[in-house]
Structure 1
Amino acid sequence: MKLTILFGGASFEHEISIVSAITLKEKLSGFDLTFIFCDQDHRFYLIEASKMKAVTFSKGEHKKMPQLNITNGSFTQKTMFSSIEHTGPVLNLIHGADGEDGTIASLLDFFSIKYIGPRTDASVFSYDKRYTKWLCEAKKIKSVHYEVISSNEHKNINIPYPIIIKPARLGSSIGVSIVKDESELDYALDVAFEFDNSVIVEPFIEGVKEYNLAGFIAKGEIHFSIVEEPQKNEFLDFEKKYMDFSRSEQVLKADIDSALEAKLKNSFEKVYKNLFEGALIRCDFFVVDGEVLLNEINPIPGSMGNYLFEDFKSSIELLANSLPTNKRAKVNYEYIHSISKAKGK
């Protein structure tokens, strides 16, 4: 199968995207893979598969490789006498800004390039944690209680300590702090405001049960991964998450009963349907007193959550062959012609 991996981007999660792309090179061996790197200045480079190593990017060696332009239906490489079109479905593997905020989705839609990944509207509701909360309220999906704090206004936090502080538009646990009492609050807010001018405040729930579930819709049917119960300490910090982005070994299925599994799948389906078609996403849930609460949506999970699927390659192929298409308005200038005819022009 032919597939283009698009990675990089101008975000705090740029390096994590590189790690994900290197991991997928291994996991999708046997596919006809093309690797396109988007640098921090939004230039696209065609990366040789043999050069898909972290040092290629850290040493700037990618700048010696062919630069690409984006045209209708493809990424194009100009040669001395002609141009080479790199077609086929794109897997959007840009984490954070650019990839998950809707920028790349809009660009690919504009140029009629098929892709695996969240569409613009889905990106908006999953990239910003405030909008995710609003989505939950609209779809009647239970989530963790929260408050929003802005760097432009000062107000008291009403949630009892301990609390967790998160930048509203950032993933991978970057800028996240657990605050156990008021003396730690100012520092935690300063850290979060380094990355965003809005932060989410939630209660930190001691000993909470957490479960991860990924999935996608293909051929009209929803396909779920196994349910994982991640093993972690107080919370999954950036360093641990960074290493998790390179995971390629399938994890063990959580030891839960069928009733809880059904609840998790039902909540996932509510999140996914009529919004995330075309994407493989992962939802992270908390379970408190038997009640399933959505923690967050990962619209482009690290390494595409390959470790959650029994047959990841077949899952990607199935999704790539069932991508939604946008209907474009047909322009025929009938209105202008009718006016011109009526005026005799």
Structure 2
Amino acid sequence: MKLAILFGGASYEHEISIVSAITVKGKLESKFDLSFIFCDQDHQFYLIEPSKMKAVTFSRGEHRKMAKLGLINGGFEQRGLFGTKRHEMPVLNLIHGGDGEDGSIASLFDFFHIPFIGPRKEASMFSFDKHYTKWLAASLGVKTLPYEIVRKDEKRAVATAYPFIVKPARLGSSIGVSIVREAGELDYALDVAFEFDEVVVIEPFMAGVKEYNLAGFSARGEITYSIVEEPQKAEFLDFEKKYLDFSRSGHVAEAAVSEALVGQLRDAFKAIYAPLFEGALIRCDFFEIEGEVYLNEINPIPGSMANYLFEDFSASIQKLLGSLPDKKAIRVNYDYIHSISQAKGK
């Protein structure tokens, strides 16, 4: 089965996307006929030789010597001296952050009728922006922590009690995230966050709270869930720890939790997934507070596709590929113009 892995992008998470692609290659190459398509920061696509799927290929700029690709209806096109070659196959969108998760790639693939694994544009809008994620969860009856929004061009007035977390609204991988414990730390934390986004989300910092990760996807109308993971970490995963986390490929241990809690987590996951995320494998990160489940974040393109949470990751991807949503093609026949022309005798 053919599958292209798309990675890179013009994003603060560009390098993490490369790490994820290399990891996923190792998980899928025995079961799939893989192609690797790299999107550089200037939005040029390159077909990467499988043997060159190493981080230094991109850091040294060696990818620029490889074949360039352009988008065409149904896939990609490689032009050469002796003609063109089409590359038509489903694509696994593994671009983290902007481009991959903000809806740009989803819109592009919809426009060119390219089948792909990943969030569609509507899902991207609500999961890429943490503020919109709060709105989505509230509309679906899924609890989230209380929050407030601070914008770069507004007064820096924060009502949330200390300590709290400052997060850029449209960025992942803990980039620009800070814990603020007292007033003297606020301006610096906001300055750091505003380097990456003009909108930040502020939430109370919950020390010692239980956290659980659950991934899944829908195929043929049924959701396949991963195991529930209880991440082992310090106060929160900073960028360096998450960078290493994105290269995980070994299967992790299932959290020792009750069936009742697993049921709550799955119910919350299904409520989030069902209306918008068809065609994507996502991971939801939850808090458990006093027996109640709270959504922390939606990861619409999780690091290394959360391969470590599935017993058979290759089989999961095959199953998802067999159930991708098919956008209805619109055929224009110009009946309206023809009828007007006939009425006018032209």
Aligned to 2:335: 334
Aligned to 2:122: 121
State the Cα distance separating 1:27 from its structure 2 match. Answer: 0.4
Gaps of 5+ in 1: none
- Consecutive unaligned residues of structure 2, counting only runs of 5 or more, are none
Match of 1:271 in 2: 272
Q: What's the secondary structure of 2:34's corresponding residue?
A: strand
Output the amino acid matched with 2:2: K
Correspondence 1:158 to 2:159: yes
Q: Measure the CA separation in 2 of the matches of 1:27 and 1:255.
A: 26
* Cα deviation code 1:129-167 (max 9, x no counterpart): 110011011111101110000011014211110000000
- Work out the CA distance in 1 between the residues paired with 2:178 and 2:339: 63
Matched residues in 1 for 2:137 and 2:302: separation? 20
Give the corresponding residue for 2:17.
Answer: 17
Q: Are 1:5 and 2:26 matched, yes or no? A: no
Q: Give, in angstroms, the shift of residue 204 of structure 1.
A: 0.1
Question: What amino acid maps onto 2:14 in structure 1?
Answer: H
Give the letter aligned to residue 149 of structure 2.
V
**Alignment match, 1:289:** 290
Q: Distance in 2 between matches of 1:160 and 1:321?
A: 48
- Is residue 28 of structure 1 aligned with residue 28 of structure 2? yes
| Structure-1 separation of matches of 2:288 and 2:194 | 29
TM alignment of 1:1-345, pairs within 5 A: 1-30=1-30, 31-345=32-346
Cα deviation, 1:227-250, whole Å, max 9, x if unaligned, reads 000000011111000000000001
Structure 1: which amino acid aligns with 2:112? F
Q: What value does the CA root-mean-square deviation take over the aligned residues?
A: 0.6
Q: CA deviation at 1:328?
A: 2.4
SS in 1 for 2:277: coil
Secondary structure of the residue that 1:77 maps to in structure 2?
Answer: strand
- 1:219 is displaced (CA, Å) by 1.2
The one-letter code of the counterpart of 2:8 is G
Partners in 2 of 1:142 and 1:211 — Cα distance? 15
| Deviation (angstroms), 1:262 | 0.1
Alpha-carbon displacement from aligned partner over 1:258-280 (angstroms, at most 9, x marks no partner) = 00000000000000002000000
Which amino acid letter does the alignment assign opposite residue 261 of structure 1? V
Amino acid at match of 2:19: V
Secondary structure of the 1:329 match is coil
Deviations 1:262-312 (A, max 9, x none): 000000000000200000000000001011000000000000000000000
SS at match of 2:187: helix
SS where residue 94 of structure 1 aligns? coil
Counterpart-to-counterpart distance in 2, 1:232 and 1:289: 20
Deviation at 1:29, TM superposition (A): 2.0
Return the offset for 1:202.
0.1
Q: Which amino acid aligns with 2:105?
A: I
Amino acid at match of 1:149: V
Mapped partners of 1:155, 1:88: distance in 2: 49
State the distance in 2 between where 1:79 and 1:220 align: 43
* Distance in 2 between residues matched to 1:175 and 1:201, nearest whole Å: 12
- State the SS of the aligned residue for 1:7: strand
Residue 173 of structure 1: SS of its match in structure 2? Answer: coil
Q: TM-score, normalised by structure 2?
A: 0.99
Instruction: Report the 3-state secondary structure (helix = DSSP H, G, I; strand = E; otherwise coil) of the residue aligned with 2:170.
Output: coil
User: What TM-score, normalized to structure 1?
Assistant: 0.99
| Alpha-carbon separation, structure 2, partners of 1:26 and 1:210 | 28
Write out per-residue CA displacement over residues 16-75 of structure 1, whole angstroms, 9 at most, x where no aligned residue: 000000001100022100000000000000000000000000000000000001100011
Q: Following the alignment from structure 1 to structure 2, what is the Cα–Cα distance between the partners of residues 166 and 13?
A: 15
For residue 321 of structure 1, report the CA deviation from its aligned partner.
1.0
TM-superposed CA distance for 1:83, in Å, is: 1.1
Residues in 1 aligned to 2:217 and 2:310: alpha-carbon distance in whole angstroms: 11
Identity %: 67
